[in-house]
Amino acid sequence: MKTFAKLFSSLRLKSQDCGKAGRGEESLEFLYYFADVFTPLSFGLLLLGTIGGLILGATPGLSPTMAVALLIPFTFHLPATQGLILLGAAYTSTVAGGAVSAILLKIPGAPANIATTLDGHPMARQGKGAKALQLSFLASAVGGVFGVLLLIFLTPLLSEWALAFGPSHLFWLAILGVTVIGSLDSASVVKGLLSGCIGLWLATIGFDDIMGAQRFIFHPSLGGGINIIAALIGLFAIPQVITMFAKGRQDNSAEVLVVEKHSIRDAIREMMRRPKALTIGTLTGSIIGLIPGVGGQIAGLVAYDQTKKFSSEPERFGRGHSEGVIAAEAANNAMVGPSLVPLLTLSIPGSPTAAVLLGGLLIHGIFPGSDLFDNHPDVAWTFINSMLIGQVLMCIFGLYVAGLAARVAQVPQSVMAAIVLGLAVFGSYSVQSSMGDVYVMASLGVMMYFLERFGFSAAPLVLGLILGPIAEANFIQGSMIANATNGMAPYFLSGALNISLIVIVIASVAYSAWMELRSRRYTSKEEIIG
Amino acid sequence: MSMPSLPRIQHILASGVVAAVGLWVASISYTAQPSEAFLFPRMISTVFVLLALWTFFKAVLGWTKVGNGISARQLVNLAPGLAIALIYIFWAAKAVGFYTAGTAAFFILLTLYDPAPHNALKSWIKRIVITAGYLLVMYGLFAKLLKVYTPREIFF
Amino acid sequence: MRHLIASAALALTALTGTTTLAEGYPERPVMMMVSYGAGGATDFQARIVTMTAGNEDALGMPVAIINKPGAGGRVGWNWFATQADADGYTLAAYNIPHFIAQSVKGGVEYSAESFEPIANWGADPAVFVVAADSPMNSMNDVVNYAKENPAKLTFSGAGLFVGHHIAALQLEKTAGVKMAYIPTKGGGAAAMKAVIAGDVMGGVNNLSDAFRAQQAGNVKILGVFDLERNAFLPDVPTLKEQGYDIDNASVNFRGIMVPKGTPPEVIDKLAAVVPEMFKNARVASKMKAGGSPMHIMTRDEVKEMWAAREETLKELLAGL
- DSSP-derived secondary structure letter, B140: I
Closest among A214, A272, A238 to A417, alpha carbons compared = A238
d(CA C11, CA C15): 6
Residue A176 is predicted with a pLDDT of 85
Amino acid identity of A398? G
pLDDT at residue C18 tops 60: no
Q: What is the CATH number of the domain that holds C201?
A: 3.40.190.10
* A305 in a structural domain: yes
* Residue C144 sits in the same domain as residue C133: yes
* A166 in a structural domain: yes
The three-state secondary structure class of C64 is strand
Residue B43, strand partner residues: none
pLDDT at residue A347 tops 90: no
Percent of chain C with pLDDT over 70: 92
* Residue C40 sits in the same domain as residue C110: yes
Cis peptide leading into residue B80 (ω within 30°): no
d(CA C290, CA A367): 8
A333 Cβ partners below 8 Å, 6+ apart?
A: A92, A95, A96, A139, A140, A141, A143, A144, A147, A285, A391
Q: How many of the other CB atoms lie within 10 Å of CB of B155? A: 16
Chain B residues inside the 8 Å CB shell of A190? 51, 54-55
* Residue C130 sits in the same domain as residue C104: no
* Helix ranges restricted to H, A111-225: 114-125, 129-164, 167-181, 189-204
Contact C320/C146 with Cβ under 8 angstroms?
A: no
C227 part of contact set with chain B, CB < 8 Å: no
Residue C264, phi then psi, degrees to nearest 5: -60, -35
pLDDT at residue C14 tops 50: no
pLDDT at residue A167 tops 60: yes
Q: How many of the other CB atoms lie within 10 Å of CB of A40? A: 7
Chain B residues inside the 8 Å CB shell of C5? 100, 103-104, 155
* Residue C119 sits in the same domain as residue C264: yes
A237 Cβ partners below 8 Å, 6+ apart?
A: A60, A61, A105, A107, A420, A421, A423, A424, A445
Which chains lie within 8 Å of chain C at 3 or more CB pairs, if any?
Answer: A, B
Write a three-state SS string for C118-130: EEEEEEECEEEEE
- Tell me the pLDDT band of A58, cut-offs 50, 70 and 90: confident
Contact C265/C242 with Cβ under 8 angstroms?
A: no
Residue A187 is predicted with a pLDDT of 67
Model pTM score = 0.86
Contact C58/C278 with Cβ under 8 angstroms?
A: no
* C114 in a structural domain: yes
pLDDT at residue C139 tops 80: yes
Mutate to test the interface with C, among A6, A163, A291, A432 (most CBs of C within 10 A): A432
d(CA C114, CA A214): 19
* Helix ranges restricted to H, A182-321: 189-204, 228-246, 264-272, 275-289, 295-310
pLDDT at residue C21 tops 50: no
Amino acid identity of C251? V
Min Cα distance C150 → chain A (Å) is 9
Residue A522 is predicted with a pLDDT of 57
pLDDT at residue C168 tops 70: yes
**How many helices (DSSP H) and strands (DSSP E) are in chain A?**
26, 2
Cβ burial, residue C31 (10 Å; 0-12/13-18/19+): middle
C274-318 per-position pLDDT tens digit:
999 999 998 998 888 888 889 999 999 999 999 999 999 998 888
d(CA C46, CA C49): 5
Structural domain that includes position A280: 27-522
Q: Which helix (H) or strand (E) holds C96?
A: strand C90-96
* A1 in a structural domain: no
Residue A8 is predicted with a pLDDT of 41
Average model confidence (pLDDT) for chain A? Answer: 83
- Tell me the pLDDT band of C156, cut-offs 50, 70 and 90: very high
B80-122 per-position pLDDT tens digit:
999 999 999 999 998 999 999 999 999 999 999 988 888 889 9
Structural domain that includes position C71: 27-124+251-317
Closest among C275, C107, A177 to B32, alpha carbons compared = C107
A62 Cβ partners below 8 Å, 6+ apart?
A: A56, A94, A109, A423, A427
Cβ burial, residue A528 (10 Å; 0-12/13-18/19+): middle
The three-state secondary structure class of A420 is helix
Percent of chain C with pLDDT over 90: 57
A37 Cβ partners below 8 Å, 6+ apart?
A: A43, A46, A85, A382, A385, A386, A389
* A334 in a structural domain: yes
Residue A158 is predicted with a pLDDT of 82
B4-47 per-position pLDDT tens digit:
566 788 888 999 999 999 999 999 999 988 888 898 899 999 99
Contact A95/A333 with Cβ under 8 angstroms?
A: yes
Query: Mean pLDDT throughout A246-253?
Result: 71
* A46 in a structural domain: yes
pLDDT at residue C146 tops 70: yes
Query: Mean pLDDT throughout C157-169?
Result: 91
- Tell me the pLDDT band of C11, cut-offs 50, 70 and 90: very low
Contact C194/C218 with Cβ under 8 angstroms?
A: no
- Tell me the pLDDT band of A262, cut-offs 50, 70 and 90: confident
Min Cα distance C9 → chain A (Å) is 17
Q: How many of the other CB atoms lie within 10 Å of CB of C307? A: 11
> Nearest residue of B to residue A246 by CA position?
B78
Query: Mean pLDDT throughout A48-70?
Result: 83
Number of domains in chain A: 1
- B/C interface, count of CB pairs below 8 Å: 41
- Tell me the pLDDT band of B152, cut-offs 50, 70 and 90: confident
Query: Which of A176-180, B89-93, C8-12, C230-234 is predicted least confidently?
Result: C8-12
Contact B92/B101 with Cβ under 8 angstroms?
A: yes
Q: Following CA atoms A113, A118, A121, A127 in sequence, which dihedral angle do they give, to the nearest 10 degrees?
A: -130
> Nearest residue of A to residue C290 by CA position?
A362
B28 Cβ partners below 8 Å, 6+ apart?
A: A216, B38, B41
Of A191, A430, A450, the CB nearest to B55: A191
The three-state secondary structure class of C39 is coil
C108-130 per-position pLDDT tens digit:
889 999 999 999 999 999 999 99
* C159 in a structural domain: yes
Longest Cα–Cα distance of chain B, Å, equals: 66
pLDDT at residue A431 tops 90: no
Residue B48, phi then psi, degrees to nearest 5: -55, -50
d(CA C198, CA A497): 15
Mutate to test the interface with B, among C5, C74, C85, C90 (most CBs of B within 10 A): C5
Chain C residues inside the 8 Å CB shell of B146? none
Min Cα distance A523 → chain C (Å) is 46
Number of domains in chain C: 2
Mutate to test the interface with A, among C182, C206, C287, C320 (most CBs of A within 10 A): C182
B127-150 per-position pLDDT tens digit:
999 999 999 999 998 888 877 878
Query: Mean pLDDT throughout C186-199?
Result: 87
Q: What is the CATH number of the domain that holds C313?
A: 3.40.190.150
Chain A residues inside the 8 Å CB shell of C218? 346-347, 369
> Nearest residue of B to residue C18 by CA position?
B156
Q: Give C 159-198 residues with CB within 8 A of chain A.
A: 159-161, 180, 182-186, 189-190, 192-194, 196-198
Residue A19 is predicted with a pLDDT of 37
d(CA A188, CA A528): 6
Evaluated on CA atoms B69, B73, B74, B80, the torsion sign reads: positive
* A7 in a structural domain: no
* Residue C84 sits in the same domain as residue C144: no
Residue B56 is predicted with a pLDDT of 92
* C8 in a structural domain: no
pLDDT at residue C67 tops 50: yes
Evaluated on CA atoms A16, A22, A27, A30, the torsion sign reads: positive
